[in-house]
Amino acid sequence: MSRVASTSPPQGSMIPERHELSPATGSQIPSHFKHCFGCGELHPTGLHLLARVGEGVDITAEFIVTEDHQGAPGLAHGGLLSLAFDEALGKLMWLLRAPAVTARLETDFLKPVPIGTKIYITARITGQLRRKVYSEAEGRLGGPDGQIAVRAAALFVIVPMKHFLENAPPEYMAAMRKTPELLSFVDPEFDINP
């Protein structure tokens, strides 16, 4: 059996600096794909998660749990909450201007999350070692000072942009050529050196 990757930063990792071209503090982080279930404004039943840049290598995010997001009657589905944290933690990569994939995500559910509740998420990078980026987040019920309902930690691995472009269905690539604003992560200014 192979060893499972840890979400804890190893010895020798460092907190990275924000990229000089990352979005400004306080600005909204754009959706990487307008049809993304997590953050896409065009997905009819998605989370529509909105994220803003913090002071350092951190962000805040929020979304409202709707009927479309329930597992048990009246409560958010645990897998959906994990998805929300994967999305929020993934938004941290905008601060590094580095495309990345989730290698591991750990989610702890501390309280039930009823439908109609707004979840406030704070997320931060806790370390980086070469292509591996470590992060953690917590989600509060109802407001930034609400009770903590969910905690998560993740390991992301920086990959070349071609990973996303080569794996996109041909019809999406055709749509992108006609309407490039559908994919905001395809940025010719990205300087990726994994």
Average pLDDT over all residues of the chain:
88
Domains annotated on the chain, with CATH: 28-182 (3.10.129.10)
Question: How many degrees, rounded to 5, is the angle at CA 129 between CA 125 and CA 132?
Answer: 70
Residue 191: per-residue pLDDT: 42
3-state secondary structure of 88: helix
- Model confidence at 42, pLDDT cuts 50, 70, 90, reads confident
Tokens coding 166: 């080569």
Model confidence pLDDT, tens digit, residues 124-154: 999 999 999 999 999 999 999 999 999 999 9
pLDDT (mean) for 101-127:
97
Measured distance CA(75)–CA(94) in Å, rounded: 31
**pTM exceeds cut of 0.85:** yes
- Is the backbone of residue 97 left (phi > 0), alpha (psi -120 to 50) or beta? left
pLDDT digits (tens, 9 = 90+) for 82-107: 999 999 999 999 999 998 999 999 99
Of the listed ranges 4-8, 114-118, 126-130, the one predicted with least confidence = 4-8
In sequence order, what are the residues at sequence separation of 6 or more whose Cβ sits closer than 8 angstroms to the Cβ of residue 69?
A: 45, 47, 76, 77, 80, 115
Across the chain, which distance is largest between two alpha carbons, in Å? 46
pLDDT tens across 44-54, in order?
Answer: 998 899 999 99
